[in-house]
Structures are given as C-alpha cells and as structure tokens.
Amino acid sequence: MKKLWLFPMLFFLLILLAGHLRWEQGPLQSVGAYQVQHTKDQWTGQRWIILFGGWAEENADPDHRPYPLYSGEWFPHFTQEELDLRLEEILSRPEYHGKRQLLQHKIKDLEIQVARAAESTGGDPPEAEMDGDRVRQALYDATWELNTLYAGAKQVLFAEYRAEAKRHELVATIIWGLLLVVTFSCSLHYFIVEVKRWKQVHETYEIVEYVTKNNRYPLGK
C-alpha cells in the first residue's frame, strides 16, 4: 500500500497544532482594582488586553450598578502613534470636523479675552468682573465640550478598531477551519481508496489462489 493518506493527515495534524499555538499569553498585570492579561494573536499579529475586576461600590441609589466592572473583556491594543493617527482620521470626518474647528476657534478667542482681562485687573467695576467671570465660564464650557468631542471620537475609534480586529481574527479562523476540513477530507479520501485497493488485491489474490488450486488438483480425478 502506498499510504498516500499519511501526507494530508500530517498536514492536518500540523494545522491543528498551529491552532493550539495561535495565542501567545503575555504577563498578567495588576493595575489598581483591575487584572490585565496581555495576549497576542500570532496569526494576525494583533495584540489584545483582557480586563478583569473593577470597582463595585454601592450607594443609596437603588438603580446603581457597579461600573466599571469587567469579566474577561477583550480590548485591542495599539501604539500611541497609531492611536493619534486613527483618531485624526475620525476627527476629519464631516460629523466631527466642523464642530471641532468651531470649538477650537471659540476657545482661542476666549483665551485671548481672558488674557486681556487678566492684564487689566485692578480697580475694575463690578460689571467688568462679571464679564470676566462669564468669559472664563464660557472658556471652561467650550473646553469641556471639545474634550467631550474627543472622548466620543475615541469611543468610535475603539469600537471600529475592535470590530476590524475581530473581523481579521474571524477570517483567519475560517481559513484555518477550511484547511482542516480540506486536509482531513483528502486524507480520508486517500485512506478509503487505499482500503478499497487493498480489498481488491486481496480478493484477486484469493481468486488466483483458488484457480491455481483447482488447476493443480482437478475435480473428479
């Protein structure tokens, strides 16, 4: 028997082993009330952070829920340079770009007004002081609104990046599964062919042996 089924079976076992060695487990890090597990997908090169723990404080509010509290939540990890680049791409979208520029110009104008008010302090009437307070409050509100805009863009960035990383992970898993199915099917096919061939050879051998025996010892003689 040629045993051709051994070659695809060997590839099948190697691919199966690659699935077992796919994830590289990094160190477990304690950060305050959190446990951070670092891991890496060897196939896609994506690094992940798995969070456990968090604060579970209680208060008088009956609708209070402990937050943030994580139990094996996966978050993609990327460098600060990649974060800044992708965040800039998010902020350049129409729904963020115009509002961002408006807030930046508004903050710049208010900072100039606050600086002028600080230079002219001393002996100002109460109306001027009230105007200065209003300008500072407006500056605080505009800065808070801009920071909120950045925070919302970061949330969109993390959600999109996580979905993209999960999509790459799924594609790699599907390819791995298809390779397993193909190699196992080929191995099974060749094994069945070899078994049928062996049965055929065995039957042929029995027939030849039977004919040879009858020719050597003819019936009735």
Query: What's the whole-model pTM score?
Result: 0.66
93 found inside a domain:
yes
At 116-129, the pLDDT tens digits run 776 765 545 555 56
CA distance 165 to 61: 38
- Average pLDDT of the chain is 80
| % the chain with pLDDT above 70 | 77
199 found inside a domain:
no
Position 17 scores a pLDDT of 92
Position 30 scores a pLDDT of 84
212 found inside a domain:
no
Largest CA distance in the chain: 145
220 found inside a domain:
no
Q: Is the pLDDT of residue 101 over 80?
A: yes
At 147-192, the pLDDT tens digits run 999 988 988 988 888 898 899 999 999 999 999 999 999 999 888 8
φ, ψ (nearest 5 deg) of residue 48: -125, 155
CA distance 23 to 178: 19
75 found inside a domain:
yes
Q: Is the pLDDT of residue 219 over 60?
A: no
At 76-99, the pLDDT tens digits run 887 888 888 988 999 998 888 889
- The arithmetic mean of pLDDT across residues 32-59, rounded, is 80
30 found inside a domain:
yes
- The arithmetic mean of pLDDT across residues 3-27, rounded, is 88
In the chain, how many domains are there? 1
Distance of CA 69 to the CA centre of its chain: 20
**Among the residues of 4-79, which ranges form H helices?**
6-20
- Domain span at residue 55? 6-184
39 found inside a domain:
yes
Q: Is the pLDDT of residue 14 over 90?
A: yes
Q: Is the pLDDT of residue 218 over 60?
A: no
Q: Which long-range contacts (CB under 8 A, 24 or more apart) does 73-82 make?
A: 74/48, 74/49, 74/50, 74/162, 75/48, 75/49, 75/50, 75/51, 75/158, 75/162, 76/46, 76/47, 76/48, 76/49, 76/158, 76/161, 76/162, 76/165, 77/38, 77/47, 77/48, 77/49, 78/47, 78/161
191 found inside a domain:
no
